[in-house]
């Protein structure tokens, strides 16, 4: 017989007796919940059992009454099957036990749970852009009380500005999520401490029951909490695996930027909690707040929506570099050559050579091409997709229009101008095979680029991989490494061939 154990929090106590766990609600009022009355404690016990049976029906066994000396119920206990501490997910991860299979099972379980979770107008409203912004803002207000004391001003400022910029430019993204039914009555508090990996599958305990509105959330937000917690435990690869498999099992097409935003949001919730504990005198809380703040900043930076404008005269390698960057960023690639022929009713590979400013290259048609290019880019940016724009960008007015798009969508703008010696560009133009571009040396010689002081000049006479490494830190590719992404064929990159970027 195992010894009786008691574990307490400020609002409850758990008595571990044999193969059972008994949870007691303390008769306290802590603001966000009031358990002073016995009936309120009974209602809370019933709700806890009902909600947690959605994910762990064989763990939450029911409710037991605690009788007083007169034989009447004096209190109530949630009765649970006791879970083995050594199978706690946080314990396994901390010990370095392989848990990739368990993570995949968890992703499948949560995806199935979300598929049948309750939905409705009162739930959907909590997943809107404005509701999320209100939760961020409330957290900012609480953290502001200790900024400078616990967190550096610069860190808090970056978090606030990055968050509000992302939300301001992404209204269509959140509207799409609501319309697609992605807002559910979820778990709300997925933490590795409350998940147990058993031989017949995972058990997920302790959902958030004291405030329904905090449990009404985007399914991606729900699962991101656990992914962030795995990151905090030093296993970000497991967090990535969890999110990847969840996306697969749930059929969720969310852009990477939204995933990163929810990871940042969940980390900042923990920043707020740590700051509150610091104010209450917890000596370890300040360091915890800084740890979670660093996680918040990292994911906000990774989740920046980018508009990368790649220009240059024919033969300078702009199309090759644009393709490599799109692959590296996981971004949509929009090409003026493709759009030009599409608007002219031609297929991309249909040759349409013409003298300079003639055929489908007249100034009027070019204006139409750039308008369409930027229109498509703006729609994608508003939905959280980073975009790489491949065009010559010789006219300053077109570049001004691109800057306006970046401003309206609150996207990070990067402007790149490719350059190569004349003999290199001429050789490239003469040696092209299978290109959708119609440019020839005579056209290239006639083209003139307006001054472009805002752009970073990229020397492209060498290999595409070298150019990519040079601009990688500037665009934030691979967290500044400039390395080719996993699975990309360097030989194909050298030829500028398409890999995993989306050509639109």
CATH of the domain at 154: 3.90.1200
Q: What is the mean pLDDT of the chain?
A: 90
**pLDDT tens digit sequence for 138-176:** 999 999 988 889 999 999 999 999 999 999 999 999 999
The rounded distance, in Å, linking the Cα atoms of 432 and 82 is: 69
Choose the final residue of a domain: 277, 302, 327.
Answer: 302
Choose the final residue of a domain: 256, 278, 302.
Answer: 302
**pLDDT tens digit sequence for 198-253:** 999 999 999 999 899 999 999 999 999 999 999 999 999 999 999 999 999 999 99
| Residue 164 and residue 272 share a domain | yes
Choose among 8, 66, 20: nearest CA to 42: 66
Higher pLDDT, 208 or 348: 208
| Residue 157 and residue 10 share a domain | no
Give pLDDT, residue 179: 98
| Residue 174 and residue 314 share a domain | no
50-72 average pLDDT score: 94
The rounded distance, in Å, linking the Cα atoms of 463 and 472 is: 14
The token pair that represents 53 in the structure block: 């049976």
Q: Is the pLDDT of residue 335 over 70?
A: yes
Give pLDDT, residue 11: 86
Higher pLDDT, 10 or 449: 449
Choose the final residue of a domain: 28, 61, 81.
Answer: 81
Give pLDDT, residue 246: 98
| Residue 352 and residue 226 share a domain | no
341-349 average pLDDT score: 85
Q: Is the pLDDT of residue 108 over 70?
A: yes
The pLDDT-based confidence of 358 (bands split at 50, 70, 90) is confident
Give pLDDT, residue 168: 96
Q: Is the pLDDT of residue 500 over 50?
A: no
| Residue 294 and residue 312 share a domain | no
Please tell me whether the overall predicted TM-score, pTM, comes out greater than 0.85 for this model: yes
| Residue 312 and residue 284 share a domain | no
Q: Quick one: how far is CA 12 from the chain centroid?
A: 34
DSSP character at residue 240: H
The token pair that represents 250 in the structure block: 């749930």
Q: Is the pLDDT of residue 485 over 50?
A: no
Q: What percent of the chain stands above pLDDT 90?
A: 78
Give pLDDT, residue 120: 97
| Residue 251 and residue 133 share a domain | yes
401-409 average pLDDT score: 98
Q: What percent of the chain stands above pLDDT 70?
A: 93
Domain count, the chain: 3
CA distances from 146 to 273, 464, 503 (A): 12, 48, 47
| Residue 325 and residue 205 share a domain | no
Q: Where is average pLDDT lowest: 68-77, 217-226, 280-289, 469-478?
A: 469-478
The rounded distance, in Å, linking the Cα atoms of 107 and 457 is: 44
90-118 average pLDDT score: 98
Specify the DSSP element, H or E, that contains 198.
strand 195-198
Give pLDDT, residue 122: 97
Give pLDDT, residue 438: 63
432-438 average pLDDT score: 72
| Residue 467 and residue 390 share a domain | yes
| Residue 89 and residue 77 share a domain | no
Ranked by mean pLDDT, which of 104-108, 277-281, 440-444 comes out on top?
104-108
Domain region containing 118? 85-302
**pLDDT tens digit sequence for 270-308:** 999 999 889 889 999 999 999 999 999 999 999 999 999
| Residue 484 and residue 358 share a domain | yes
DSSP character at residue 3: P
Give pLDDT, residue 399: 98
Q: Is the pLDDT of residue 442 over 80?
A: no
The rounded distance, in Å, linking the Cα atoms of 118 and 16 is: 32
Give pLDDT, residue 361: 78
| CATH (domain of 404) | 3.40.50.300
Query: Residue 96 — left, alpha, or beta (φ > 0 → left; ψ -120 to 50 → alpha)?
Result: left
| Residue 263 and residue 145 share a domain | yes
DSSP string, 210-234: S-HHHHEEEHHHHHHHHHHHHHHTT
The pLDDT-based confidence of 1 (bands split at 50, 70, 90) is low
77 DSSP β-pair partners: 24, 64
The token pair that represents 120 in the structure block: 């409705």
Give pLDDT, residue 461: 94
The pLDDT-based confidence of 476 (bands split at 50, 70, 90) is confident
Contact 123, 216 (CB under 8 A): yes
The pLDDT-based confidence of 357 (bands split at 50, 70, 90) is confident
Residue with tokens 């050594």: 86
């Amino acid at each position: 017989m195992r010894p009786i154990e008691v574990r307490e929090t400020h609002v409850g106590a758990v008595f571990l007796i044999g193969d059972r766990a008994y949870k007691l609600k303390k008769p306290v009022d802590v603001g966000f919940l009031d358990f002073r009355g016995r009936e309120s404690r009974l209602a809370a016990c019933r709700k806890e059992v009902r909600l947690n049976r959605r994910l762990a029906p064989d763990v939450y066994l029911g409710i037991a009454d605690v009788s007083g000396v007169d034989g009447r119920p004096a209190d109530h206990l949630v009765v649970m099957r006791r879970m083995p501490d050594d199978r706690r997910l946080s314990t396994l991860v901390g010990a370095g036990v392989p848990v990739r299979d368990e993570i995949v099972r968890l992703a499948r379980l949560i995806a199935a749970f979300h598929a049948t979770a309750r939905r409705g107008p009162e739930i959907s409203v909590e997943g809107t852009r404005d509701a999320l912004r209100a939760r961020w803002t409330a957290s900012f207000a609480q953290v502001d009380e200790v900024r400078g004391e616990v967190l550096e001003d610069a860190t808090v400022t970056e978090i606030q500005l990055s968050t509000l910029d992302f939300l301001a430019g992404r209204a269509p993204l959140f509207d799409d999520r609501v319309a697609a039914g992605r807002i559910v009555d979820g778990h709300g508090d997925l933490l590795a401490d409350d998940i147990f990996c058993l031989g017949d599958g995972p058990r997920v305990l302790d959902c958030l029951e004291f405030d329904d509105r905090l449990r009404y959330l985007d399914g991606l937000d729900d699962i991101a909490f656990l992914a962030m917690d795995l990151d905090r435990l030093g296993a970000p690869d497991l967090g990535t695996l969890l999110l990847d498999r969840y996306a697969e099992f749930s059929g969720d097409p969310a852009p990477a930027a939204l995933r990163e935003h929810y990871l940042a949001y969940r980390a900042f919730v923990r920043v707020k909690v740590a700051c509150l504990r610091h104010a209450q005198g917890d000596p370890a809380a300040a360091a915890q707040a800084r740890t979670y703040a660093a996680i918040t900043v990292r994911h906000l930076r990774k989740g920046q929506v980018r508009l990368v404008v790649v220009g240059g005269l024919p033969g300078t390698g702009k199309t090759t570099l644009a393709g490599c960057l799109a692959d590296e960023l996981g971004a949509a690639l929009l090409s003026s050559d493709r759009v030009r022929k599409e608007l002219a009713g031609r297929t991309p590979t249909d040759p349409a050579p013409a003298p300079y400013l003639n055929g489908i290259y007249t100034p009027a048609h070019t204006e139409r091409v750039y308008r369409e290019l930027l229109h498509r880019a703006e729609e994608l940016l508003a939905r959280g997709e980073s975009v790489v724009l491949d065009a010559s960008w010789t006219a300053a007015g077109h570049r001004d229009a691109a800057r306006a798009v970046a401003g309206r969508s609150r996207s990070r703008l990067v402007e790149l101008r490719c350059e190569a010696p004349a003999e290199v560009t001429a050789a490239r133009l003469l040696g092209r095979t299978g290109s959708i571009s119609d440019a020839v040396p005579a056209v290239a010689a006639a083209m003139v680029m307006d001054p472009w002081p805002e752009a970073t000049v990229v020397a492209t006479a060498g290999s595409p991989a070298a150019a990519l490494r040079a601009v990688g830190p500037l665009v934030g590719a691979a967290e500044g490494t400039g390395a080719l992404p996993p699975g990309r064929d360097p030989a194909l990159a050298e030829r500028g061939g398409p890999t995993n970027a989306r050509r639109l």
